[in-house]
Amino acid sequence: MMATKNPIYWQDEILQILFWMRGEGLGEVVTLEEINRFLTIEKSNLNDAVERLDEMGYLKLSTNSENISEVQLTEQGKKEGKIRFKEEFENFLGHEDHMVCDDPNCDCHAENFEGICQHLAENEGHLH
């Protein structure tokens, strides 16, 4: 992973990883340590980035007495994470979108579909 101090880069990476983690059933609410397993970002940069994403309305932060303990995508953050994820990984995905099922007749394949496929949600969020 490229080392950078560019805050926009880290914000995009965090949104992507949270969207991916959510889609893969790895967690709706995750710790900063879980994020860092995938991004290897300096703790101060990670804290700054999640605080900015919180201020922009993309994340909801949970804090303990000392610092940020957990983060969760807001509805706005889910949409933004989906955009960032799709832009980054579209050529590598088996589907045109990370939140669709294998049924070509399902509504989730519609061009303007937003959200999570109901077939996938019914199957405990396991994505294909």
Write down the pLDDT at residue 123. Answer: 58
Whether residue 42 is found in the same domain as residue 78: yes
pLDDT of residue 94: 55
Residue 60: per-residue pLDDT? 94
Residues in the chain: 128
Asked if 6 contacts 48 with a C-beta cutoff of 8 angstroms, the reply is no
Q: Do 29 and 84 fall within a single domain?
A: yes
Q: What would the mean pLDDT of 62-86 be, rounded to a whole number?
A: 87
Check residue 125 and give its pLDDT.
Answer: 42
| Pair (61, 124) in one structural domain | no
The CA distance from 121 to 99, in Å, is 10
Provide the residue range defining the domain that includes 56.
7-92
Task: Report if residue 2 sits inside a domain.
Answer: no
Q: Are residues 48 and 30 in the same domain?
A: yes
- pLDDT tens digits, 22-44: 988 888 999 999 998 988 888 88
1 part of a folded domain: no
pLDDT at position 23, please? 86
Is a pLDDT exceeding 50 seen at residue 113? yes
Whether residues 54 and 31 share a domain: the answer is: yes
Question: What backbone phi and psi angles, to 5 degrees, belong to 68?
Answer: -70, 130
**Residue 126 and residue 115: Cα distance in Å, rounded?**
14
Q: Is residue 51 part of a domain?
A: yes
CATH number, position 64: 1.10.10.10
Q: What are the distances in angstroms from CA 14 to CA 37, 45, 86, 102? A: 12, 11, 14, 27
Average pLDDT over residues 98-105: 69
For residue 97, pLDDT over 50 is answered with no
SS3 (DSSP) at 29:
strand
pTM: 0.67
* Inside any domain, residue 74: yes
Residues 39 and 58 in one domain: yes
Split at pLDDT 50, 70, 90, the class of 117 is confident
Question: How many domains, the chain?
Answer: 2
Q: Determine the average pLDDT of the residues in 77-104.
A: 73
